[in-house]
Structure 1
């Protein structure tokens, strides 16, 4: 389900996935197929890890990457979940053939 809220999306981002919702900063973004595919990849990741463990693993990996890179944006871009989503966001058929727990490939 897609929600529109400029207040729920962190500054500097245009969308966020909070299972089971995809929250977008503006309504025009719901027509951006690449962005929606990126967020759907996150939905699949969250389902595979039963939601709560996803957020824990995401936060821990972000903190590790932040210490590693000492840069917020670089840390974010190097989280395995984000690497998978960014690499495959343009392939609109990716989720049809995506292997189970595919984000582990990007660790």
Structure 2
């Protein structure tokens, strides 16, 4: 999967996927295969949910988690979409071999 990469210096995170783009905080991150793979996993998740519903489910999952964990980092790390992306970001073949809807069942 190829995706246009945009550099956004004021990005609040190192990387972000907003279909069809990968946003990075700095140009040097273009060489970080793991962060690129992580964001490509998010792009596929967005496609799986026909894009817009992904953002709604992502936000709902985060809000439930912030109530549950009462801490941003724990709430963020426990979003089902993030769990799949973090679990497979080092597997550069995951998107070729990976399961569609791999985030389902991540608790």
TM-score tier (shorter): over 0.9
Partner in structure 1 of residue 31 of structure 2: 31
Partners of 2:100 and 2:24 in 1: CA distance: 26
Partner in structure 2 of residue 40 of structure 1: 40
Q: Find out whether 1:90 has 2:97 as its counterpart.
A: no
TM-score under structure 1 normalisation?
A: 0.94
Unaligned regions of 5+ residues in structure 2, if any?
Answer: none
Partners of 1:106 and 1:6 in 2: CA distance: 32
Partners of 1:85 and 1:35 in 2: CA distance: 9
Partners of 2:92 and 2:83 in 1: CA distance: 16
Q: How does 1:1-107 map to 2 (within 5 A)?
A: 1-7=4-10, 9-10=11-12, 13-107=13-107
| 1:45-103 deviation per Cα after TM superposition (whole angstroms, max 9, x unaligned) | 00010110000000000000000000001000000000000000000001111112111
Structure 1 consecutive aligned stretches of length 4 or more whose deviation exceeds 4 Å = none
Root mean square deviation of aligned Cα: 0.7
Unaligned regions of 5+ residues in structure 1, if any?
Answer: none
Partners of 1:58 and 1:39 in 2: CA distance: 14
TM-score under structure 2 normalisation?
A: 0.94
Number of aligned positions between the proteins: 104
Partners of 2:97 and 2:25 in 1: CA distance: 29
